[in-house]
């Protein structure tokens, strides 16, 4: 029934009382989906699997309720609190892969949309790590329907898109990067199908709704009559199927665990034995005891940075003094602060390769810290200013020629505007033409060939004119204003000298000309 295991961990026992094993190496290649209604033992199952494999493979746990923080004490996992900016979470994730640390991403205290954004930034950081650190890693996502919802809910479309994209990458493309996704959900009907369908191993627990039973039976290859059996499963009992578990659906019971979460099964407690009159006095009669002191920070609920900043931003004045009611900063001072926010964001070398919506979240975070709100910078305004910043161009040039260049830039696709402005800046300053690599970076790519393609596109559409001198160096002229760059080598590095006797170029000719 159970295949020979290379690295088997014991989940529990089957109906014959024999150990029910899971092939950990096979799991790393095939992924796992766990489903069970509340009270079915789903979290207990995840805890058992993680405890048994903790010493064998690196782990990361996406924990929306803080139930797995106890792992840090028993198994040495590092707890990563999510009160951070998206870029900081991505950098932490990259270091986690470099140093092979097992972690718990604690999302407790954040609302659903903030949890989605934080999880997306963290997963993207793990996913985008360099090939040299693609070590095997289990990524466990509890309550996965929060991060990969089947339908749009009350969260913004942008947050849902970011989170769903990160979860899809994990389940669809994570295997080549050493990432093995384990997703657990209370209801299959609420989990995005393209995320659930990528799993090859299944552990299905107690389920009552027809739509969830039908999807579970479909995934396990069971008929309608057999699907009714999901209602009869006991807590802690699951139906297992998959190359890492069993070749046919079999029931198993999950074993005991060494750690415990904060939440558990409710237990009955005796009510207080108190006369009705005394209870009424406690409820309706006030006293000095009602004026409780402010709890110490360690006793109060930990709130996320985003929540605190939002409260500060929307709160009213604390008193009636003019200083509390009015923002005394001038427009120039606010603009200077806004410029410093952009400078801080652009100082991160990874900014060039991140999508604009992700960078926009960092922008809002820094604006809130400086009490700027968004200061008129909605998403379209931010994208325009970001294109200028990526090109190293100030937004206050103020002359007619720059206004014409900016108007031409707006006619280009949004992702190309920064590239065009980079060329315009070099031409205006009579600097050498940027290299293919510099153009690609302004576009958000690491591929120099992307820079060459961008030049071809803009030349064909009449925005620039690109030509090469006899040395093979490139010269770009900006249409309309006739600004012209100095010759620049397409590739980074010094230009080779010309043989003075032959007067022939020692570099290969540009791609636009036939090769010699």
- Residue 472's domain is classified under what CATH number? 1.10.10
Q: Are residues 66 and 96 in the same domain?
A: yes
Q: What does the alpha-carbon distance between residue 207 and residue 202 come to, in Å, rounded to a whole number?
A: 14
367 falls within a domain: yes
Dihedral sign, Cα of residue 44, residue 49, residue 52, residue 57: negative
272 falls within a domain: no
Tokens 């980074």 sit at which residue?
Answer: 492
What are 140's strand-pairing partners?
Answer: 61, 182
316 falls within a domain: no
Q: Where is the domain boundary, 338, 366, 390?
A: 390
The neighbour count for residue 470, using CB atoms within 10 Å, is 11
Tokens 């110490």 sit at which residue?
Answer: 296
Q: What does the alpha-carbon distance between residue 30 and residue 393 come to, in Å, rounded to a whole number?
A: 48
Q: What does the alpha-carbon distance between residue 387 and residue 225 come to, in Å, rounded to a whole number?
A: 59
- H or E stretch covering 449: helix 448-460
Q: Are residues 344 and 197 in the same domain?
A: no
Q: What does the alpha-carbon distance between residue 163 and residue 124 come to, in Å, rounded to a whole number?
A: 9
CATH number of the CATH domain containing 130: 3.40.50.300
12 falls within a domain: yes
341 falls within a domain: yes
368 falls within a domain: yes
Q: Are residues 48 and 173 in the same domain?
A: yes
DSSP 3-state helix, strand, coil percentages of the chain (rounded to 5)? 45, 15, 40
Q: Are residues 79 and 180 in the same domain?
A: yes
- H or E stretch covering 106: strand 103-106
Q: Are residues 381 and 445 in the same domain?
A: no
Q: Quickly list H helices, 143-263.
A: 144-147, 157-173, 193-196, 210-220, 224-227
Q: Are residues 76 and 133 in the same domain?
A: yes
pLDDT of 32 reads 93
Give 10-residue mean pLDDT values along the chain (516 residues).
Answer: 58 88 90 87 90 91 88 87 83 92 90 90 92 92 90 83 91 90 88 86 84 75 73 86 88 88 67 80 64 43 46 43 57 81 74 67 75 65 70 59 80 80 87 88 79 87 86 87 89 50 37 42
Q: Are residues 360 and 378 in the same domain?
A: yes
186 φ/ψ sector (left φ>0, alpha ψ -120 to 50, else beta): alpha
Q: Are residues 355 and 424 in the same domain?
A: no
Q: Where is the domain boundary, 202, 230, 254?
A: 254
pLDDT of 217 reads 77
Number of domains the chain is built from: 3
pLDDT of 365 reads 73
Could you tell me the two tokens for 140? 């466990």
The neighbour count for residue 384, using CB atoms within 10 Å, is 17
Measured at the alpha carbon of residue 299, what is the angle toward residues 296 and 302, in degrees to the nearest 5? 105
pLDDT of 14 reads 87
262 falls within a domain: no
Q: Where is the domain boundary, 254, 287, 317?
A: 254
168 falls within a domain: yes
By CB neighbour count within 10 A (0-12 exposed, 13-18 middle, 19+ buried), where does 347 fall? exposed
Q: Are residues 79 and 12 in the same domain?
A: yes
Q: Are residues 441 and 378 in the same domain?
A: no
Q: Are residues 236 and 385 in the same domain?
A: no
Coil, strand, or helix at residue 256? coil
Range of the domain at 451: 397-516
Convert 408-445 to b/e letters by CB count within 10 Å (16 or more is b): bbeebeebbbbbbbbbbbbbbeeebbbbbbbbbbbbbb
Q: What does the alpha-carbon distance between residue 103 and residue 139 come to, in Å, rounded to a whole number?
A: 10
Tokens 């009382």 sit at which residue?
Answer: 17
pLDDT of 476 reads 92
Q: Are residues 59 and 191 in the same domain?
A: yes
Could you tell me the two tokens for 421? 């402005």
Coil, strand, or helix at residue 446? coil
Q: What does the alpha-carbon distance between residue 514 and residue 516 come to, in Å, rounded to a whole number?
A: 6
Determine if the pTM surpasses 0.85.
no
The alpha carbon of residue 443 and the mean position of all alpha carbons in its chain are separated, in whole angstroms, by 21
- H or E stretch covering 389: helix 379-390
């Amino acid at each position: 029934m159970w295949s020979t295991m290379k690295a088997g961990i014991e989940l529990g026992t089957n109906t014959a009382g024999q150990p029910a094993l899971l092939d950990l190496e096979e799991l790393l290649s095939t992924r796992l989906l766990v489903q069970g209604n509340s009270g079915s033992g789903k979290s207990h199952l995840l805890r058992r699997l993680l405890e048994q494999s903790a010493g064998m493979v690196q782990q990361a746990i996406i924990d929306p309720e803080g139930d797995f923080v106890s792992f840090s004490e028993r198994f040495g996992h590092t707890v990563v609190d999510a009160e951070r900016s998206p870029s900081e979470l991505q950098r932490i994730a990259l270091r986690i892969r470099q140093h092979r640390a097992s972690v718990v991403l604690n999302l407790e205290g954040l609302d659903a949309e903030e949890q989605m954004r934080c999880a997306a930034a963290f997963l993207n950081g793990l996913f985008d790590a360099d090939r040299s650190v693609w070590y095997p890693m289990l990524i466990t996502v509890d309550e996965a329907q929060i991060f990969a919802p089947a339908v749009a809910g009350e969260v913004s479309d942008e947050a849902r898109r970011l989170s769903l994209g990160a979860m899809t990458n994990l389940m669809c493309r994570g295997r080549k990067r050493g990432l093995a996704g384990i997703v657990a959900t209370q209801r299959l009907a609420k989990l995005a199908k393209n995320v659930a369908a990528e799993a090859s191993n299944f552990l299905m627990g107690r389920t009552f709704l027809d739509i969830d039973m039908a999807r579970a039976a479909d995934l396990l290859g069971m008929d309608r009559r057999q699907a009714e059996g999901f209602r009869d499963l006991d807590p802690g009992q699951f139906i297992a199927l998959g190359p890492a578990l069993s070749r046919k659906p079999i029931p198993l019971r999950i074993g005991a665990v060494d750690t415990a979460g904060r939440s558990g099964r409710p237990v009955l407690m005796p009510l207080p034995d108190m006369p009705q009159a005394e209870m009424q006095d406690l409820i309706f009669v006030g006293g000095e005891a009602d004026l409780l002191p402010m709890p110490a920070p360690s006793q109060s609920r930990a709130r996320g940075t985003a929540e605190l900043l939002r409260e500060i931003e929307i709160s009213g004045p604390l008193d009636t003094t003019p200083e509390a009611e009015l923002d005394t900063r001038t427009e120039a001072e606010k603009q200077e602060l806004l410029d410093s926010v952009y400078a801080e964001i652009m100082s991160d070398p990874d900014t060039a390769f991140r999508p604009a919506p992700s960078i926009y979240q960092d922008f809002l975070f820094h604006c809130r810290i400086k009490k700027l709100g968004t200061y008129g910078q909605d998403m379209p305004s931010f994208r325009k200013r970001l294109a200028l910043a990526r090109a190293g161009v100030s937004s206050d040039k103020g002359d007619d020629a720059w206004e014409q260049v900016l108007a031409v830039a707006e006619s280009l696709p949004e992702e190309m505007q920064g590239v065009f402005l980079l060329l315009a800046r070099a031409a205006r300053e009579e600097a050498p033409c940027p290299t293919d690599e510099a153009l690609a970076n302004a576009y958000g790519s690491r591929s120099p060939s992307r820079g060459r393609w961008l030049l071809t596109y803009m030349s064909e559409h009449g925005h620039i004119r690109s030509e090469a001198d006899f040395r093979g160096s490139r010269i770009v002229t900006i249409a309309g204003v006739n600004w012209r760059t100095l010759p620049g080598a397409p590739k980074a590095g010094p230009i080779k000298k010309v043989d003075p006797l032959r007067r022939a170029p020692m570099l290969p000719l540009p791609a636009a000309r036939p090769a010699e």
